Amino acid sequence: MRTENLDLALSQLTAAECNEATDELARYLDAGLASTRELMAAFLNDLNNECLTRWGPRGETDGAGRLPASRDAEGARNRGPGPLR
């Protein structure tokens, strides 16, 4: 593989420029990490709020978050268990 272009570009960089580029990259990564933490915290707060809305505190449902019962399922509940076989 021929790497003349890469070799030329690398030969033009000084150690100071490499250090500067490394510092700049570190700043970008720090900023990205801070943003990622904020987004993750916001998502987890929203998820927690959704869980509280759906299931209530300490898992007490009181019917919240349930799917509406179908008529067939409701009828089966009212009839009780079927005969034993």
User: pLDDT tens digit string along 6-27?
Assistant: 888 888 888 888 889 889 999 9
Q: Quote the domain boundaries for residue 48.
A: 18-56
Q: Across all residues in the chain, what is the average pLDDT?
A: 76
- Provide the whole-model pTM: 0.41
Domain assignment present for residue 44? The answer is yes
Domain assignment present for residue 64? The answer is no
Please check the confidence at residue 29 and state whether its pLDDT lies above 80.
yes
The total of structural domains in the chain comes to 1
Q: How far is CA 32 from CA 27, 28, 29, 42, 46, in A?
A: 9, 6, 5, 15, 21
Contacts (Cβ under 8 Å, ≥6 apart) of 11: none
55 in Cβ contact with 66 (< 8 Å): no
Q: What share of the chain is helix, strand, coil (3-state, %, to 5)?
A: 70, 0, 30
Domain assignment present for residue 33? The answer is yes
For the record, the structure tokens of 77 come out as 């509940």
Comparing 36 with 49, the larger pLDDT belongs to 36
Domain assignment present for residue 12? The answer is no
Domain assignment present for residue 28? The answer is yes
Domain assignment present for residue 7? The answer is no
